[in-house]
Chains A and B, each alone.
Chain A
Amino acid sequence: MLEIKNLQVRYGTIAALHGISLKVERGSIVTLVGANGAGKSTILRAISGLVPVADGSIEYEGQPIANLAPHKIVARGLAHVPEGRMVFANLTVMENLLMGAYLRRDRAAFPKDLDYIFGIFPRLKERRKQTAGTLSGGEQQMLAIGRALMSKPKCLMLDEPSLGIAPILVRTIFEKIIEINQELGITILLVEQNANLALEISHRGYVLETGRIILEDSSEALRGNQQVRECYLGGE
């Protein structure tokens, strides 16, 4: 579904990614783990067109999408829930969700999709008339995911969904990510610092270090890998 070859990104003269290659199979959950500043978010930002690609290729459903404008990439069914959630704080929960459906013309189908989102995140339904700025971090994360789902994506990219969220909600959100993957058949590319959790719910994982992929394997194998256990899982 998504294939990246030798991706290079620079911020000014500093190289952030030194040739990343990875593959996301349709219907799977793939996770990128690694320390702060390893380049995980940059990969997502490059895929969705937020940062320019210096070299390499990004293919989505067999089509090159590197350096397309972000709105054109969303239109192809690739949604990005950015780090820090970026909900529209001054708009209500409902308006935020409708903003996610900006490109869609099938207004008649909105109620059904909203029902589904309110079904997985009942908290959003209770708060649909509140402005997004008044929500807790966890609720904002649910909203950001719901908003992305309103664009009817085929592939969903999630950047640090557990960041700054009450631990009790982190579990819920990860359960919902599995549900979205299984029930809606949405392919998921997940960036996460909580490697334990991420490798638990994903099929395949890539380990990044300073802009390079140093390991890739099935998530199960990575969880058993001694190096990964020491560096990222806090294990012995």
Chain B
Amino acid sequence: MIEFLQQLIDGFSQGAIYALIALGYTMVFGVLRFINFAHGDVFMLGAFAGLYLGPRTLKLFGAGPSYIGAAAVMLLAMLVCAVIGIIIERLCYRPLRERPKLTVLITAIGVSLFLENFGQFIFGANPKSFPELINNRAFELPEWWGQFSALTITISQVLVVAVTLVLLIAMRHIVLHTRMGMAMRALSFNPVAASLMGINTDVVISFTFGLGSALAGAAGILISIQQPSIDPLMGVNAGLKAFVAAVLGGIGNLPGAALGGILIGLLEYIVVGYVSPTYRDAIVFGVLILILLVKPTGLLGSSEREKV
């Protein structure tokens, strides 16, 4: 029982990170109808932004690790990633806007390979240890929790879930209640109609890339707080899993991406705990195949029907 709960806790906090990355996939899919396979690598760049900017930023807020310092590092990494995401779209995807979607998709894979190899070239291929942004330790669970006090819950786990929740709520607000969010939704329903409403689609697409990439940047910092060893290929696996999460939830559907992320995280840890860590990735990608076979629209997605 305790063991199962422990897997759920660990899986939930890992899933929160997948959820943040998955949102970027799903948002870009929503407005452009293509999968930005370079998204996982933007997540990696977020972690490296933290590696390089972290120590200096922390110093501004006192010597050691601090929450406010960690928050500043995360915001900086989000900003860096947003800019990178916007540049990638501007340079690599926009010139191909009128081309078949397959062209853009293959370009995205190219961008992904470029970032991974460029990352190894610049940062070195060896794992780097991530600076300590907060004093991460396990909470002392009170005695009256009885047998549950044997659980391990770390500060970083709580932080990851809390930050993810805040970002999800902020995202929801942006999409549902701001002018830009309205434009994003219009664009995802019908790009031609959106432009006839006076929406500057280029600006909205840039904004979408910026927002999605910022979330990936935040995820890059959060994962590095939990597992403080980062390398230029860390985005490959995490990115693919977040992609599976987005498809599981229903690609193009924002709450679906969040749900899918959490489910994939939980599944992963249950497999690790009860089946075998070896099958962890195989089972997650098995889910992708299964969902595509059984319910390609995902858990919360709906098939698009148009009335003519």
B156-196 interface code vs A (CB 8 A; 1 in, 0 out): 00000000000000000000000100110110011011011
List 18 A-B pairs, Cβ < 8 Å: A49-B195, A50-B195, A50-B196, A69-B195, A70-B195, A75-B198, A79-B196, A86-B192, A86-B193, A86-B196, A88-B193, A89-B189, A98-B182, A102-B183, A102-B198, A133-B305, A137-B307, A164-B308
> Are B307 and A133 neighbours in the complex by a CB distance under 8 Å?
yes
Q: Which of A46-86 contact B (CB under 8 A)?
A: 48-50, 69-71, 74-75, 79-80, 82, 84, 86
- In the complex, the number of residue pairs spanning A and B with C-beta atoms less than 8 Å apart equals 66
Q: Which of A143-195 contact B (CB under 8 A)?
A: 147, 151, 164
> Are A102 and B307 neighbours in the complex by a CB distance under 8 Å?
no
A136 to B228, CA, bound (A): 57
B199 within 8 A of A: yes
Most B-side CB within 10 Å, residue of A71, A75, A82, A102? A71
**Number of contacting residues on A, CB 8 A?**
29
A28 within 8 A of B: no
A79-115 interface code vs B (CB 8 A; 1 in, 0 out): 1101010111111000000111011000000000000
B306 within 8 A of A: yes
User: Nearest A residue to B197 by beta-carbon distance?
Assistant: A102
Min CB distance A43 to B, Å, is 15
Contacts of A137 in B (CB 8 A): 307
A42 within 8 A of B: no
A133 to B198, CA, bound (A): 22
Q: CB within 8 Å of A: which residues of B? A: 179, 182-183, 185-186, 189-190, 192-193, 195-202, 305-308
> Are B186 and A71 neighbours in the complex by a CB distance under 8 Å?
no
> Are B196 and A48 neighbours in the complex by a CB distance under 8 Å?
yes
A8 within 8 A of B: no
> Are A70 and B308 neighbours in the complex by a CB distance under 8 Å?
no
Min CB distance A36 to B, Å, is 15
> Are B200 and A69 neighbours in the complex by a CB distance under 8 Å?
yes
Apart from the given pairs A71-B197, A103-B197, A151-B197, 5 other A-B contacts in the complex at a CB distance below 8 Å: A69-B200, A69-B202, A82-B196, A102-B186, A164-B308
Most B-side CB within 10 Å, residue of A79, A99, A137? A99
Q: Which of B189, B197, B306 contacts A74 (CB 8 A)?
A: B197
A140 within 8 A of B: yes
User: Nearest A residue to B306 by beta-carbon distance?
Assistant: A89
Contacts of A99 in B (CB 8 A): 182, 186, 197
